[in-house]
Amino acid sequence: MIKLKDVASLASVSEATASLVMNNRPGVKSETRERVLEAAMSLGYTPNFIARGLAMQKTHTIGLVVTDIENPFFGTLTRYVDEYVLNRGCNLILSVSNDDPGLEERIISDFIGKRVDGVIIVPTVSTVRNLLVFEQLISHKIPFVFSTTYYEEIECEHIISDLEEGAYRLTRYLIELGHRVILFFFASNREAIPSKLRIKGYERALTEAGLKIQADWLIECRKPDFGCGYSMAQAVVQNKKPDAIITMNDIMALGAKRGVIDLGFKIPEDISIAGYDDVIFSSISEIPLTTVRQDIQEISRETVDVLFEKIAGNKPHDRFIKLTPELIVRKSTGVCSRKS
C-alpha cells in the first residue's frame, strides 16, 4: 500500500511537507505543492480520511433516516440536507425506516456502530415506545435532531413547519367556500405528532365556525400513501358523499382524488379535495391540488445548522424551530354545491 512517506520521497520533500499539501494546508510554495500532487497522482496515493477521522474521533459523516423516500417531500428534504451537509465538509449516510419504529431503531444503532458525527431523524408516523436507542445516542455522545416532526417523549431539538396552523388555514378556507361536511384522512395513529397537530388545526377551524365535529369525519388510513388514499376515498364516498376531503399529505390526496374520479364524481364540482406539503406532483397533476406548502429548503437548512451547532459543542439558540406554512389554492377545491 502506498504511504505518505513514499509520496514525500518521490517529491523530494519531508513527510511533514507532503502532509501539508495532502491536507490542503498553507505554508508550502506553489511549485513544491505541484510536485507533491504530481508524485501522489503518479503513485496512486489516496489519503485515508476515514482512518484520520477515527484518530481524531471524527468520521465526517452524518446519518439521516427518513420514513418514505418514494414520497417526493422526503426526497427533496434528503437532497437539501445532503447539500448542506456536504457544504460543511461531511458526507451523508441515508437510510429509510418505511415508517417502522423497529427498523428505525436498527438504523440508528447502525449509525452508532459507524461512529457518525451526528444523526438527523425524521420520526415515524407512530408514537415512540423504546427509548433505549436514543439513550444510546446520548451515552455515545452523538448529537441528534428531529426534522419535520418529533417524538414527544424525547427532549431534543426539532425543526418543523407549523402543522397545526397549516391545517387550520386549509380547513378554514374550505369552510369559507361553504363546505360543512369535511373529512380528514390521517395515517395510523392520531396521537403521533404528524397527525395530532394537523387534526388539532382542523378541529379548531371547525369549532370556530360553529360546526359540530362528527366522529366519522376523522378517517384513519393504514399508511400515508397513494393506495390508502385511493381505497379509503372510494370506501367512504360510496357510503356517504362529503363536501370535501383533506388528507395529511399530498400523496394521499392524489390517491383520494383518483378514487373519487373513478367513482364518477367531478372535482371540485362534486367534492373538493386538498392535501398537505405541496410536492411537485400537486401542481402538475390533471387537476392541480390545493395544499399547504412547507418550506422544505428552510427546514433542511435549519436542521443541519442546529445539528452542527450541537456537534461543535454549542447550545443552539433555538431548540424548537417552527416555520410558518403557506396555503396554496388550486383547482381541486371550489365553492360547495351542496344544497342546504
27-31, 125-129, 165-169: which has the highest mean pLDDT? 165-169
Q: What totals of helices (H) and strands (E) does the chain contain, helices first? A: 13, 12
Q: What's the pLDDT tens digit per position in 50-97? A: 555 555 567 899 999 999 988 999 999 999 999 999 998 899 999 999
Domain 55-161+297-324 is found in CATH 3.40.50.2300: yes
The total number of residues shown for the chain amounts to 340
pLDDT of residue 318: 79
Contacts of 125 (CB under 8 A, 6+ apart): 67, 99, 187, 188, 189, 192, 194, 195, 224
- Inter-residue contact 323 to 293 (CB < 8 Å): no
More confident residue, 150 or 42: 150
Q: CA-CA-CA-CA torsion for 42, 60, 116, 149, nearest 10 degrees? A: -130
What's the whole-number mean pLDDT along residues 269-282? 95
Among the residue ranges 37-46, 70-79, 260-269, the one predicted with the least confidence is 37-46
Distance CA 66, CA 146 (A): 10
Domains of the chain, residue spans = 4-47, 55-161+297-324, 163-294
Question: What is the three-class DSSP state of 117?
Answer: coil
E strands of the chain, at which residues? 61-66, 91-96, 118-121, 144-147, 158-161, 182-187, 218-221, 244-247, 272-274, 291-293, 320-323, 326-328
Residue 328: name the closest of 186, 170, 204, 175 by CA.
170
Q: Kindly indicate whether the domain formed by 4-47 is annotated with CATH number 3.40.50.300.
A: no
Q: Hey, what's the cell of 245?
A: 376531503
Decide if 237 contacts 262 (C-beta within 8 A).
no
Kindly give, in sequence order, each residue whose CB lies less than 8 Å from that of residue 161, ignoring residues fewer than 6 positions away.
Answer: 148, 294, 295, 299, 322, 323, 324, 325
147 has which bridge partners?
159
Residue type, 24: N
Phi-psi region of 78 (alpha: psi -120 to 50; beta: other; left: phi over 0): alpha
CA dihedral of residues 53, 60, 89, 82 (deg, nearest 10): 160
Query: CATH classification of 163-294, choosing from 3.40.718.10, 3.40.50.1860, 3.40.50.2300, 3.30.70.20?
Result: 3.40.50.2300
pLDDT grade, residue 21 (50/70/90)? confident
DSSP state of 13: S
pLDDT tens-digit series, residues 214-238:
999 999 998 899 999 999 999 999 9
Evaluate if residue 113 carries a pLDDT over 60. yes
Tens digit of each residue's pLDDT (9 = 90 or more) over 163-182: 999 999 999 999 999 999 99
Look over the chain and give the mean of its residue pLDDT values, rounded to a whole number.
91
Say whether 163-294 and 4-47 share the same fold. no
pLDDT of residue 230: 97
Residue 200 confidence class, pLDDT cut points 50, 70, 90: very high
Full DSSP string of 169-192: HHHHHHHHTT---EEEEEES-TTS
Tell me if 121 sits within 8 A of 144, measured CB to CB: yes
Alpha carbon 232 to chain centroid distance?
Answer: 25
Residue 229 and residue 236: Cα distance in Å, rounded? Answer: 11
Per-residue DSSP letter, 128 = -
CA 252 to centroid of chain Cα atoms: 16
